[in-house]
Structure 1
Protein backbone atom coordinates (compact mmCIF):
# COMPACT_ATOMS: atom_id res chain seq x y z
CA UNK A 1 0.00 0.00 0.00
CA UNK A 2 2.91 2.34 0.61
CA UNK A 3 3.96 2.01 -3.02
CA UNK A 4 0.43 2.87 -4.18
CA UNK A 5 0.42 5.92 -1.93
CA UNK A 6 3.73 7.07 -3.45
CA UNK A 7 2.49 6.56 -7.04
CA UNK A 8 -0.70 8.43 -6.18
CA UNK A 9 1.12 11.40 -4.66
CA UNK A 10 3.70 11.71 -7.45
CA UNK A 11 1.06 11.47 -10.21
CA UNK A 12 -1.47 13.69 -8.44
CA UNK A 13 1.01 16.46 -7.67
CA UNK A 14 2.34 16.47 -11.23
CA UNK A 15 -1.12 16.55 -12.85
CA UNK A 16 -2.62 18.98 -10.33
CA UNK A 17 0.22 21.21 -9.09
CA UNK A 18 -2.20 23.75 -7.57
CA UNK A 19 -3.26 20.97 -5.14
CA UNK A 20 0.24 19.60 -4.47
CA UNK A 21 1.04 18.94 -0.85
CA UNK A 22 -2.59 18.62 0.19
CA UNK A 23 -1.66 15.60 2.30
CA UNK A 24 1.51 14.40 3.95
CA UNK A 25 3.10 11.06 3.02
CA UNK A 26 1.95 9.70 6.39
CA UNK A 27 -1.65 10.70 5.62
CA UNK A 28 -1.41 9.16 2.14
CA UNK A 29 -0.14 5.85 3.54
CA UNK A 30 -2.91 5.80 6.14
CA UNK A 31 -5.54 6.45 3.45
CA UNK A 32 -4.31 3.58 1.29
CA UNK A 33 -3.91 1.11 4.15
CA UNK A 34 -7.14 1.93 6.00
CA UNK A 35 -9.49 2.90 3.18
CA UNK A 36 -8.42 1.89 -0.31
CA UNK A 37 -7.01 -1.54 0.55
CA UNK A 38 -9.98 -2.28 2.81
CA UNK A 39 -12.73 -1.12 0.44
CA UNK A 40 -11.46 -1.69 -3.09
CA UNK A 41 -10.17 -4.32 -5.44
CA UNK A 42 -6.69 -3.13 -6.36
CA UNK A 43 -4.64 -4.11 -9.42
CA UNK A 44 -1.14 -2.88 -10.16
CA UNK A 45 1.28 -2.69 -13.06
CA UNK A 46 4.96 -3.28 -12.39
CA UNK A 47 8.25 -2.74 -14.11
CA UNK A 48 10.48 -5.21 -12.35
CA UNK A 49 9.77 -4.75 -8.66
CA UNK A 50 8.57 -1.15 -9.04
CA UNK A 51 4.86 -0.28 -9.06
CA UNK A 52 4.29 1.95 -12.09
CA UNK A 53 0.51 2.31 -11.84
CA UNK A 54 -2.64 0.95 -10.28
CA UNK A 55 -6.42 0.98 -10.36
CA UNK A 56 -8.68 0.69 -7.31
CA UNK A 57 -12.36 -0.03 -7.90
CA UNK A 58 -15.48 -1.22 -6.08
CA UNK A 59 -19.22 -1.51 -6.62
CA UNK A 60 -19.22 -0.06 -10.15
CA UNK A 61 -16.96 2.85 -9.14
CA UNK A 62 -13.35 3.58 -9.99
CA UNK A 63 -11.91 5.20 -6.89
CA UNK A 64 -8.31 5.62 -8.02
CA UNK A 65 -6.33 5.26 -11.25
CA UNK A 66 -2.78 6.57 -11.24
CA UNK A 67 0.22 5.95 -13.49
CA UNK A 68 3.70 7.28 -12.79
CA UNK A 69 4.51 10.07 -15.25
CA UNK A 70 7.47 8.24 -16.79
CA UNK A 71 5.24 5.20 -17.50
CA UNK A 72 2.37 7.13 -19.12
CA UNK A 73 1.66 6.69 -22.82
CA UNK A 74 2.52 2.97 -22.80
CA UNK A 75 -1.01 1.58 -22.48
CA UNK A 76 -0.72 0.80 -18.77
CA UNK A 77 -3.69 2.96 -17.80
CA UNK A 78 -5.83 1.44 -20.56
CA UNK A 79 -5.00 -2.10 -19.46
CA UNK A 80 -5.76 -1.30 -15.82
CA UNK A 81 -9.00 0.40 -16.80
CA UNK A 82 -9.95 -2.68 -18.83
CA UNK A 83 -9.55 -4.81 -15.69
CA UNK A 84 -12.10 -2.63 -13.94
CA UNK A 85 -14.40 -2.72 -17.00
CA UNK A 86 -14.25 -6.52 -16.97
CA UNK A 87 -15.70 -6.48 -13.44
CA UNK A 88 -18.86 -4.53 -14.19
CA UNK A 89 -21.35 -3.56 -16.89
CA UNK A 90 -21.25 0.04 -15.69
CA UNK A 91 -18.55 2.17 -14.07
CA UNK A 92 -18.54 5.69 -12.73
CA UNK A 93 -15.74 7.96 -11.59
CA UNK A 94 -15.05 11.53 -10.58
CA UNK A 95 -12.18 13.58 -11.92
CA UNK A 96 -11.36 17.24 -11.60
CA UNK A 97 -12.62 19.54 -14.35
CA UNK A 98 -9.17 21.10 -14.77
CA UNK A 99 -7.52 17.70 -15.23
CA UNK A 100 -7.92 17.79 -19.00
CA UNK A 101 -5.49 14.92 -19.61
CA UNK A 102 -7.56 12.58 -17.41
CA UNK A 103 -10.79 13.74 -19.00
CA UNK A 104 -9.44 13.05 -22.50
CA UNK A 105 -8.15 9.66 -21.36
CA UNK A 106 -11.56 8.58 -20.04
CA UNK A 107 -13.53 10.04 -22.94
CA UNK A 108 -11.35 8.17 -25.46
CA UNK A 109 -12.17 4.96 -23.61
CA UNK A 110 -15.92 5.35 -23.77
CA UNK A 111 -16.70 7.32 -20.62
CA UNK A 112 -19.36 10.01 -20.98
CA UNK A 113 -19.67 13.17 -18.90
CA UNK A 114 -22.92 13.05 -16.93
CA UNK A 115 -22.52 15.78 -14.31
CA UNK A 116 -20.28 18.63 -13.23
CA UNK A 117 -20.14 20.14 -9.78
CA UNK A 118 -18.50 23.11 -8.13
CA UNK A 119 -16.52 20.79 -5.87
CA UNK A 120 -18.46 21.40 -2.68
CA UNK A 121 -18.66 17.64 -2.03
CA UNK A 122 -14.95 16.86 -2.45
CA UNK A 123 -12.18 17.41 0.05
CA UNK A 124 -10.17 19.59 -2.30
CA UNK A 125 -13.10 21.95 -3.02
CA UNK A 126 -12.11 21.67 -6.68
CA UNK A 127 -14.77 21.66 -9.44
CA UNK A 128 -15.18 18.09 -10.60
CA UNK A 129 -16.81 16.00 -13.30
CA UNK A 130 -18.68 12.71 -13.04
CA UNK A 131 -18.14 10.24 -15.86
CA UNK A 132 -19.93 7.02 -16.63
CA UNK A 133 -19.11 4.05 -18.85
CA UNK A 134 -21.65 1.40 -19.81
CA UNK A 135 -20.80 -1.88 -21.51
CA UNK A 136 -22.11 -1.80 -25.07
CA UNK A 137 -24.90 -4.25 -25.85
CA UNK A 138 -23.77 -7.16 -27.99
Structure 2
Protein backbone atom coordinates (compact mmCIF):
# COMPACT_ATOMS: atom_id res chain seq x y z
CA UNK A 1 0.00 0.00 0.00
CA UNK A 2 1.31 3.44 -0.94
CA UNK A 3 1.80 5.97 1.85
CA UNK A 4 -0.15 8.42 -0.33
CA UNK A 5 -3.40 8.59 -2.28
CA UNK A 6 -3.86 9.55 -5.92
CA UNK A 7 -6.95 11.56 -6.82
CA UNK A 8 -8.11 13.98 -9.48
CA UNK A 9 -6.96 17.57 -9.10
CA UNK A 10 -9.46 20.21 -8.02
CA UNK A 11 -9.58 23.95 -8.77
CA UNK A 12 -8.59 24.74 -5.19
CA UNK A 13 -5.33 22.81 -5.75
CA UNK A 14 -3.94 25.57 -8.03
CA UNK A 15 -1.89 27.35 -5.32
CA UNK A 16 -0.34 24.11 -4.02
CA UNK A 17 0.41 22.88 -7.56
CA UNK A 18 2.02 26.21 -8.49
CA UNK A 19 4.25 26.21 -5.41
CA UNK A 20 5.21 22.57 -5.99
CA UNK A 21 5.90 23.19 -9.70
CA UNK A 22 8.25 26.08 -8.94
CA UNK A 23 10.04 24.30 -6.08
CA UNK A 24 10.54 21.11 -8.10
CA UNK A 25 11.89 22.98 -11.13
CA UNK A 26 14.22 25.11 -9.01
CA UNK A 27 15.63 22.01 -7.33
CA UNK A 28 15.90 19.73 -10.37
CA UNK A 29 16.83 22.34 -12.98
CA UNK A 30 18.52 25.35 -11.36
CA UNK A 31 19.89 26.31 -14.79
CA UNK A 32 16.37 26.75 -16.21
CA UNK A 33 15.26 30.38 -16.53
CA UNK A 34 12.24 31.34 -14.45
CA UNK A 35 9.99 33.13 -16.90
CA UNK A 36 6.92 33.44 -14.66
CA UNK A 37 6.38 34.37 -11.02
CA UNK A 38 4.21 32.36 -8.64
CA UNK A 39 1.09 34.44 -9.39
CA UNK A 40 1.45 33.70 -13.12
CA UNK A 41 2.05 30.01 -12.46
CA UNK A 42 -0.95 29.84 -10.12
CA UNK A 43 -3.14 31.40 -12.82
CA UNK A 44 -1.78 28.98 -15.41
CA UNK A 45 -2.47 26.02 -13.14
CA UNK A 46 -6.05 27.17 -12.57
CA UNK A 47 -6.96 28.32 -16.10
CA UNK A 48 -5.06 25.79 -18.17
CA UNK A 49 -3.69 22.76 -16.33
CA UNK A 50 -6.60 22.04 -13.98
CA UNK A 51 -9.25 23.31 -16.41
CA UNK A 52 -8.04 21.62 -19.60
CA UNK A 53 -6.14 18.47 -18.63
CA UNK A 54 -6.65 15.47 -16.39
CA UNK A 55 -4.56 16.18 -13.31
CA UNK A 56 -3.60 13.32 -11.05
CA UNK A 57 -2.52 14.50 -7.61
CA UNK A 58 -0.64 12.44 -5.03
CA UNK A 59 -1.52 13.46 -1.47
CA UNK A 60 -0.62 12.40 2.03
CA UNK A 61 -2.88 13.61 4.83
CA UNK A 62 -4.29 16.24 2.46
CA UNK A 63 -0.87 17.62 1.53
CA UNK A 64 0.06 17.64 -2.18
CA UNK A 65 3.20 15.58 -2.82
CA UNK A 66 3.19 15.55 -6.62
CA UNK A 67 1.08 15.81 -9.73
CA UNK A 68 0.85 14.68 -13.33
CA UNK A 69 -1.04 16.51 -16.07
CA UNK A 70 -2.39 14.29 -18.85
CA UNK A 71 -4.02 15.44 -22.09
CA UNK A 72 -4.96 12.46 -24.24
CA UNK A 73 -1.73 10.50 -24.52
CA UNK A 74 0.46 13.52 -23.71
CA UNK A 75 2.08 13.83 -20.28
CA UNK A 76 2.29 17.60 -19.96
CA UNK A 77 3.55 17.85 -16.39
CA UNK A 78 5.08 15.54 -13.82
CA UNK A 79 6.45 17.21 -10.73
CA UNK A 80 7.14 15.82 -7.27
CA UNK A 81 7.78 17.95 -4.18
CA UNK A 82 11.57 17.93 -3.62
CA UNK A 83 11.32 16.50 -0.10
CA UNK A 84 9.01 13.70 -1.33
CA UNK A 85 11.10 12.47 -4.26
CA UNK A 86 12.38 8.91 -4.56
CA UNK A 87 9.41 7.55 -2.64
CA UNK A 88 7.55 5.97 -5.58
CA UNK A 89 5.20 8.89 -6.18
CA UNK A 90 6.36 9.64 -9.73
CA UNK A 91 6.24 5.95 -10.61
CA UNK A 92 2.71 5.64 -9.23
CA UNK A 93 1.56 8.68 -11.24
CA UNK A 94 3.18 7.33 -14.43
CA UNK A 95 1.55 3.92 -13.83
CA UNK A 96 -1.85 5.60 -13.53
CA UNK A 97 -1.21 7.59 -16.73
CA UNK A 98 -0.26 4.35 -18.53
CA UNK A 99 -3.47 2.70 -17.31
CA UNK A 100 -5.49 5.63 -18.66
CA UNK A 101 -3.62 5.67 -22.00
CA UNK A 102 -2.80 2.02 -22.70
CA UNK A 103 -2.09 2.81 -26.37
CA UNK A 104 0.95 4.79 -25.30
CA UNK A 105 2.24 8.06 -23.87
CA UNK A 106 4.52 10.81 -25.12
CA UNK A 107 6.18 13.74 -23.40
CA UNK A 108 8.93 16.35 -23.60
CA UNK A 109 11.87 16.54 -21.22
CA UNK A 110 14.72 19.04 -21.27
CA UNK A 111 17.91 17.52 -22.62
CA UNK A 112 19.92 18.74 -19.61
CA UNK A 113 17.45 17.19 -17.17
CA UNK A 114 19.45 13.98 -16.88
CA UNK A 115 17.67 12.77 -13.74
CA UNK A 116 14.28 13.27 -15.39
CA UNK A 117 15.36 11.48 -18.55
CA UNK A 118 16.75 8.57 -16.50
CA UNK A 119 13.46 8.36 -14.56
CA UNK A 120 11.46 8.04 -17.76
CA UNK A 121 13.83 5.42 -19.21
CA UNK A 122 13.41 3.36 -16.01
CA UNK A 123 9.67 3.51 -16.63
CA UNK A 124 9.89 2.22 -20.20
CA UNK A 125 10.13 5.43 -22.21
CA UNK A 126 12.43 5.70 -25.21
CA UNK A 127 13.73 8.62 -27.26
CA UNK A 128 11.93 9.61 -30.44
CA UNK A 129 13.92 12.73 -31.36
CA UNK A 130 15.60 15.90 -30.05
CA UNK A 131 15.10 19.57 -30.82
CA UNK A 132 17.18 22.69 -30.35
CA UNK A 133 14.56 24.18 -28.02
CA UNK A 134 13.44 26.86 -30.45
CA UNK A 135 9.80 25.78 -29.95
CA UNK A 136 9.68 25.84 -26.16
CA UNK A 137 9.29 28.91 -24.00
CA UNK A 138 12.62 28.43 -22.24
CA UNK A 139 14.56 28.00 -25.52
CA UNK A 140 16.21 24.95 -23.98
CA UNK A 141 17.09 21.85 -26.06
CA UNK A 142 14.62 19.07 -25.38
CA UNK A 143 13.94 15.42 -26.06
CA UNK A 144 10.69 13.79 -27.18
CA UNK A 145 10.10 10.51 -25.34
CA UNK A 146 7.47 7.82 -25.78
CA UNK A 147 6.15 4.75 -24.02
CA UNK A 148 4.31 2.02 -25.88
CA UNK A 149 2.58 -0.98 -24.36
CA UNK A 150 4.25 -4.22 -25.41
Q: Same fold per TM (> 0.5)? A: yes
Instruction: Tell me how far apart the structure 2 counterparts of residues 57 and 134 of structure 1 sit (CA, whole Å).
Output: 16
Structure 2 partner of 1:65: 78
Per-residue CA deviations over 1:63-95 (Å, capped at 9, x if unaligned) read 000001111111000001111101111100000
Residue 31 (1) aligns with residue 31 (2): no
Residue 114 (1) aligns with residue 128 (2): yes
Instruction: Tell me how far apart the structure 1 counterparts of residues 115 and 35 of structure 2 sit (CA, whole Å).
Output: 20
- 8 Å CA contact 1:42, 1:55 repeated in 2: yes
**Size of the alignment, in residue pairs?**
136
CA RMSD in angstroms, aligned pairs only: 0.9
Q: 1:39, CA displacement in angstroms?
A: 1.4
Unaligned ranges ≥5, structure 2: 1-13
Alignment TM-score, normalising by the size of structure 1: 0.95
Give structure 1 regions of 4+ aligned residues with deviation exceeding 3 angstroms: none
Instruction: Tell me how far apart the structure 2 counterparts of residues 133 and 87 of structure 1 sit (CA, whole Å).
Output: 13
Which structure 2 residues correspond to residues 44-83 of structure 1 after superposition, within 5 A? 44-83=57-96
2:24 is paired with a residue whose SS is helix
Alignment TM-score, normalising by the size of structure 2: 0.88
Structure 2 partner of 1:126: 140
1:82 is paired with a residue whose SS is helix
Instruction: Tell me how far apart the structure 2 counterparts of residues 23 and 101 of structure 1 sit (CA, whole Å).
Output: 23
Structure 2 partner of 1:86: 99
Instruction: Tell me how far apart the structure 1 counterparts of residues 69 and 147 of structure 2 sit (CA, whole Å).
Output: 16
